[in-house]
Chains A and B, each alone.
Chain A
Amino acid sequence: MDLILAGLGEAAVRLVTGDPDVRAATTAALAVSGSATLLSIATGVPAGAWLGLARFRGRELVLSLVNTGMGLPPVVVGLFVAVLVWRSGPFGALDWYCTRQAMVVAQYLLAAPTVAGLTAIAIQSVDPMLRVQLAALGATRGQTLAILVREARLPILTAAMAGFGAVISEIGASLMVGCNIKGDTRILTTAIALDTSKGEFGSAFALAFILLLLVFAVNLVTTWAQQRRRPA
């Protein structure tokens, strides 16, 4: 019990004084996960919107693959990206191994299927008759797509938040391709793991508190989006 209390006390001090290690890990985590999430929104939302609206042979198979992607084990993604950016790998010339870029790629691969899959569901949840109504109002295909995405913006926001929530809490892939370099690729999760292994619970608790705060913020936005009333 003393150990926990001492850890929590030290965590409070580190948070209040703005400990540089804690600040660095938080900044790195937000930069890496934020970039990966933005990339996954940029590609996942259009792809998901298309998947939600298009009707083509093999659509169910594609949706199944995307859904499978939502449950990808981070260590498998880490392995895959590590092999790609390994010095002798296909993208070795980029020299991305143990960099934030490699971490962004890994986290993007984890977040993009979540964003695309949930966007497809969000678009499909918009009343199908709205498409008929928009066509009746003389909307072109592009206008229809833009309006449907805007109508589904809150579920799509939820999709983006889910993507961010998945990667901000992820450790396996980031550790494998980022190498947990202090002040560079060390993020909240990898720092917590390292500090815990060293018995530095005060630092670990401080980082864990920030991580929980971020996850709570994500869930707050998601809950607000889900509870909002729709027009008749």
Chain B
Amino acid sequence: MTELLTANDLAVWRGQREVVRVERLTIEDRETLVVLGPNGAGKTSLVLALASLIPFRGELRFHGEIVREPIAYRRRIAVVLQRPLLLDRSVRENAALGLALRGVGRHDRDRRADAALARLGVAHLATRPASSLSGGEAQRVSIARALALDPEILFLDEPFAGLDAPARESAIADLARAVGDGGVTTVLVTHDRDEALSLADRVAVLIAGRIRQVDRAESLFVRPIDPEVAEFVGVENVLPARVQASDDEITRLVIADRVLEVTATPPAGELFPLVGIPPDDIVIARETPATSARNAFAGKIVRVEPIGRRMRVVLDCGFPLVAHITHRSARELALRAGDDVVASFKATTPHLLARHRRAEISPLGSFAQGRSSRSSPLG
């Protein structure tokens, strides 16, 4: 793949405060890069700077050339903002607006606008006034307006944030298809992990204005680089461990007197790494299963609670452990707080992180008393 856009030493300031600093970020041709981060992380500032829509310090290279003419650069990209921001005109006129601003003739721009509306499934709305659209329809028109331009890069700043869940899911599916069919290089900003997983080739995690990790989507969500990234991408189990022994195949770790076997090797020289265990990869059973999983821990259920389409099971296995299972599994196993169960996972599941900060795991004794600490799911 070739680098389409590169940001070097990019910094955005709001008044006296630096809100974003990115040493280097590349966007590859035809990829979908998702910038994932919590609210207030600087995602919008980053995407607006990458689109040269706000002042920034540093260097932006498009096709290897430094961006010096913002309007010329913007006429080769497209940006979809959080709100549709449609004009008080017909849907077709809105979809064709960018083309009209570029001086494209009416016949050609209407044809391209109609094609873009069709890609987003809203061609039937073409003659309707924009003021009559629902939020979901308006955002699709906004995306169509961007796609009609055949942009070299499509920037999307949380375009589905204002939609309800069904409208969002449907819009994401349509966007994925529209972007995928056209092979459009896309940068999507979101705080939603599901959106990131649905659309991303690569994910850049932005926390407090800094990019903390850029990785393939499937790697990042199971191999976050540090506890903060892990916390944000949903790896709830980040536990402080001690290396007991390590050979070519297996590393044995001790967590609260329990021994884990993992295939990952500790970060260089790290005797007290953090262990990240994705909750989705933990299996809950009533009895110790006869499987090839190298890790099985008897424990007691502290809490079972719904989180959207899954159930979150908080366990006390001598150390805190969180598992995500389906509603059906929870129902069939009749899981309740206080039940004795066995949690198991393969040695390949956990990954090891360098301990950048002091772990905040609570001692076992405090779990039962419900004391909270930031990294303890039992609180």
**Pair A151/B98 contact, Cβ less than 8 Å:** no
Is B75 part of the binding interface, using a Cβ–Cβ cutoff of 8 Å? yes
* Complex: A137 Cα to B149 Cα, angstroms: 9
B10: chain A residues at CB < 8 Å are none
Residues of chain A in range 204-232 having any CB-CB distance to chain B below 8 Å: 229-232
Is B33 part of the binding interface, using a Cβ–Cβ cutoff of 8 Å? no
Is A129 part of the binding interface, using a Cβ–Cβ cutoff of 8 Å? yes
B152 to chain A: closest CB distance in Å? 13
B88: chain A residues at CB < 8 Å are 151, 230-231
Is B71 part of the binding interface, using a Cβ–Cβ cutoff of 8 Å? yes
**Pair A135/B53 contact, Cβ less than 8 Å:** yes
A150: chain B residues at CB < 8 Å are 87
**Pair A137/B133 contact, Cβ less than 8 Å:** no
Which residue of the partner chain B has the closest CB to A229?
B131
Q: Which of B101, B138, B155 contacts A138 (CB 8 A)?
A: B101
Is A5 part of the binding interface, using a Cβ–Cβ cutoff of 8 Å? no
Prevailing SS type, chain B contact patch:
mixed
Q: Contacting chain A: which of B77-85, B187-195, B259-267, B335-343?
A: B77-85
B162 to chain A: closest CB distance in Å? 9
Proximity bits, A124-142, B CB within 8 Å = 1, else 0:
0001011011111111100
A155 to chain B: closest CB distance in Å? 11
Is A6 part of the binding interface, using a Cβ–Cβ cutoff of 8 Å? no
Is B180 part of the binding interface, using a Cβ–Cβ cutoff of 8 Å? no
* Complex: A133 Cα to B138 Cα, angstroms: 14
**Pair B75/A231 contact, Cβ less than 8 Å:** no
B135: chain A residues at CB < 8 Å are 232
**Pair A133/B102 contact, Cβ less than 8 Å:** no
Which residue of the partner chain B has the closest CB to A133?
B85
Is B97 part of the binding interface, using a Cβ–Cβ cutoff of 8 Å? yes
Residues of chain B in range 123-176 having any CB-CB distance to chain A below 8 Å: 129-131, 133-135, 138, 145, 149, 155
Instruction: Please indicate which of the listed interface residues A130, A132, A133, A147 has the most CB atoms of chain B within 10 Å of its own CB.
Output: A133
Is A143 part of the binding interface, using a Cβ–Cβ cutoff of 8 Å? yes
**Pair B101/A151 contact, Cβ less than 8 Å:** no
Residues of chain A in range 117-176 having any CB-CB distance to chain B below 8 Å: 127, 129-130, 132-140, 143, 147, 150-151
* Complex: A134 Cα to B133 Cα, angstroms: 20
Given contacts A147-B87, A231-B86, A232-B133, is CB(A136)–CB(B138) below 8 Å?
no
**Pair A137/B97 contact, Cβ less than 8 Å:** yes
A152 to chain B: closest CB distance in Å? 10
Is B19 part of the binding interface, using a Cβ–Cβ cutoff of 8 Å? no
Proximity bits, B218-244, A CB within 8 Å = 1, else 0:
000000000000000000000000000
A229: chain B residues at CB < 8 Å are 131
How many of chain A's residues have a CB under 8 angstroms from any CB in B? 20
**Pair A231/B133 contact, Cβ less than 8 Å:** yes
Proximity bits, B92-121, A CB within 8 Å = 1, else 0:
001001100110000000000000000000
A232: chain B residues at CB < 8 Å are 83-84, 86, 130-131, 133-135, 138
* Complex: A130 Cα to B89 Cα, angstroms: 14
Given contacts A129-B83, A231-B138, A232-B84, is CB(A137)–CB(B131) below 8 Å?
no
Q: Which of A127, A130, A132, A143 contacts B53 (CB 8 A)?
A: A132
* Complex: A132 Cα to B87 Cα, angstroms: 13
**Pair B131/A133 contact, Cβ less than 8 Å:** no
B202 to chain A: closest CB distance in Å? 23
B131: chain A residues at CB < 8 Å are 229-232
**Pair B74/A136 contact, Cβ less than 8 Å:** yes
B16 to chain A: closest CB distance in Å? 18
B29 to chain A: closest CB distance in Å? 21
Is B51 part of the binding interface, using a Cβ–Cβ cutoff of 8 Å? yes
Q: Which of B79, B83, B102, B129 contacts A136 (CB 8 A)?
A: B79
**Pair B130/A231 contact, Cβ less than 8 Å:** yes
Residues of chain A in range 76-119 having any CB-CB distance to chain B below 8 Å: none
**Pair B74/A135 contact, Cβ less than 8 Å:** yes
Which residue of the partner chain B has the closest CB to A132?
B53
* Complex: A59 Cα to B376 Cα, angstroms: 54
Which residue of the partner chain B has the closest CB to A136?
B79
B107 to chain A: closest CB distance in Å? 20
A133: chain B residues at CB < 8 Å are 79, 81, 85
Given contacts A147-B87, A151-B87, is CB(A136)–CB(B101) below 8 Å?
no
For this complex, 7 residue pairs linking A to B, each with C-beta atoms less than 8 Å apart, are A130-B85, A137-B79, A138-B102, A229-B131, A231-B94, A231-B130, A231-B131
* A residues adjacent to B (C-beta < 8 A): 127, 129-130, 132-140, 143, 147, 150-151, 229-232
* B residues adjacent to A (C-beta < 8 A): 48, 51, 53, 71, 74-75, 77-79, 81, 83-88, 94, 97-98, 101-102, 129-131, 133-135, 138, 145, 149, 155
Question: A127-B83, A136-B51 known; 13 other A-B pairs, CB under 8 Å?
Answer: A132-B53, A133-B81, A133-B85, A134-B101, A136-B79, A137-B79, A137-B98, A137-B149, A138-B75, A138-B98, A138-B101, A231-B129, A232-B83
